[in-house]
Chain A
């Protein structure tokens, strides 16, 4: 199972990176979102899958899944959400100000 999930994470990374290399701003933001999904899946897979009950203590249950990766992912989800929203607004501002969302046209001036 972990191998399948690893491959899925790999696919998410690959498509994310491919989007990141495109020219439209929106695609780049989509790429970052895909990469963060991939990273979350990656972390979850690293903590082993399906080894017990959800990490909510119940009397009588001995085996729980690993709670630490979940805590890490939770933090990461929130942060990537913040970053993604910021990126989106930035993309919106950049596109409206410069009248283009093509990254090749958003290169800055020569003398910078």
Chain B
């Protein structure tokens, strides 16, 4: 089946990109209205006279709940303790707020860029698993997956470029003088980690990860397409793909883990968690499988994937369900271990999130766990296409908020909002994602003709 990106989709993607650029530009202009500490002082005074900005409001609301009062008190003391540590780096409260305001458009860009990149990377890992496991159901979806993974290289490059340009707006450990004992910004904890967290090494690692992933992507796509024109019983290209997939999975699990420390966890350089890499991986896989299902359903509705039947959608929905539960398991394991032991240096991570990000933090549990759990449990519902699409939309929004919750508390603190800079960034990278993915989908026939498992896959029935 031939597919060509339709004009409507092209125009839609362009409109998204243009609106996104406008939104992002507005975000930067808006944040730079506050050029110095003086402007922030007036802002803070205004907020105070309006009966409280974010901070006071959040505290006020929680204090109303009597049963919560004790816990909140002890928590907020912890949080303030941490804030004081920050402020001891020779920074006034106003300067702190100024930084947060300036960080916001950068963080918004970074969250959205990473979100779309991680979809592509999750699909790449899922695709490699399908080859390595010699799955019999999925070969009819290989071209859809290959289309989505075409975003790995540009998406990863975008993330690295934003990280490079944003510099200390995102990564506190890039602040000048933070490792210099004579500087008033000196931070002994960060200085102790500077063997790993330093600018050249960070980007060298990033480039190595990206090079490894996109090299695998390039060759697996090449072999997959070459297999189409192979002679009968000539499975050399498939075997090559099988081998490089197995090797890639080994490489991937190490690099993905390190990437999660570098690109996400290092925004909070005082904090660390050992299962963070897995946690991010689970989120990546959910989003990846969800997008595979959504694009497959879209192409099927255009009559382009005649061999994709309800059983394939059912299988994808099962993966969406299973990985959602797996994500929740890891989220909860991370949260509960830290909550239970309540060690101050670890628990501040969740204290700031529960205090300042209450709704997104707990809302995402509903979106990423309870919603898919109840909707996708029924086996009949998993075969209803619009149902899978609706569940997929909620899952994707939930995982955007998941990434949002990872980055924002470290960069903008309580000055967060999902407003024009955030939505603009989503539109911008969403548009680029759609453009690249659907262009790649149009390059080769949508059916991987000569895959050894293609007949089994065409007749897959559950």
Q: Do A and B come from one complex?
A: no
